[in-house]
Structure 1
């Protein structure tokens, strides 16, 4: 009688029994190396990164060539990010962005720029956008842009700068931020 099964008699069950020790050995090695973990409750939110928005607003007011507005942020919101960049278009335009995490844990960002609305929206958007309406907040018109499943974008012309709001936060938070921005005067450089 042959010692091995003929190849024609080997099947998926034989392969599964061969792989089980390999999978167990892989899990043991990954566990020893602390490269895997099991979390039955799913992911949990981590700490919000710390970002000094007050310092960023003051610095941008000194360094950028246009008026910067520092709105009074609602209670429970935390600044978590900031950046500066230039929008290419008919002319170079500086842009400053500060991001916030709302009390409900949603992201919203405030962008201020000298770029035109036509140049700023495509620069910020992650896909094609088109105007879907307008909101009247504090005597200012905010043009609302929508798109295929993308986050909403609100833009208002403050004459000396364009203010853009976007993020995953609900419209109520957009309204809070738009109201706060419209209520303040630009910072002194």
Structure 2
């Protein structure tokens, strides 16, 4: 008599009994590694990442060929990201971007670039933005780019650098950042 059942007699119950030890082993390993959690109410927001704004902007001011400004952001804003990019095109150039989480929990980006305004807007937002208005903040004129269902972008020409503000922030948060960057002096290298 054969010690194993013929293959034709195996069914889903046999498969379930063979998978149970594998699932238990997987749960034990994940529990020991602390890589899983049970949250019946759904995911919760964790802390926002942090970014050393001072060091990032000082480094960009030293490395990039245009003036970099360090705005004093409002209390409660946290810098959470930074990057540098090369913008292609006829009026392309370099860019320095820093991101903030506002006191209201929204994201606002500040991009400084020696690229032309059209290339800068195209680089950040693609072809989906068009001029929808203007703002006068302090002594600076800001061109507002928008469209249906897209976040607004504010761009101002500071002479040798273009400044772009974007993200999910409110108009008041954009105004706060535009005000502080408008009065900020370029960092010295």
TM-score, length of structure 2 as denominator length:
0.81
> What are the superposed Cα offsets for residues 36-72 of structure 1, whole Å, 9 maximum, x if unpaired?
5432333221122121110111111111111111100
2: CA distance between counterparts of 1:27 and 1:143? 58
User: RMSD value over aligned CA atoms?
Assistant: 2.4
Change (3 A) 1:178 1:21: farther
Post-superposition Cα deviations, 1:116-143, rounded to whole Å, max 9, x if no partner, equal 1110001001551101101110121111
Q: Which runs of 5+ in 1 are unaligned?
A: 1-16
Aligned length: 174
Aligned twin of 2:177: 177
Contact kept in structure 1, 2:108 and 2:168, CA below 8 Å: yes
- What is the CA–CA distance in structure 2 between the aligned matches of 1:156 and 1:61, rounded to whole Å? 19
Per the alignment, do residues 76 and 22 of structure 1 end up closer, same or farther by CA in structure 2, a change over 3 Å counting? farther
Aligned partners of 1:36 and 1:81: how far apart in 2?
27
1:57 partnered with 2:44: no
Q: In the alignment, does 2:69 pair up with 1:73?
A: no
Cα displacement (A) at 1:92: 3.9
1: distance between equivalents of 2:127 and 2:22? Answer: 41
Relative to 1, partners in 2 of residues 1:148 and 1:32: Cα closer, same or farther, differing over 3 Å?
Answer: farther
1:137 aligned residue: 137
TM-score (norm 1): 0.81
2:88 aligns to what? 88
Q: What is the alpha-carbon distance in structure 2 between the residues aligned to residue 27 and residue 127 of structure 1?
A: 49
Larger deviation, residues 68-77 vs 120-129: 120-129
Tell me the residue number matched to 1:48: 48
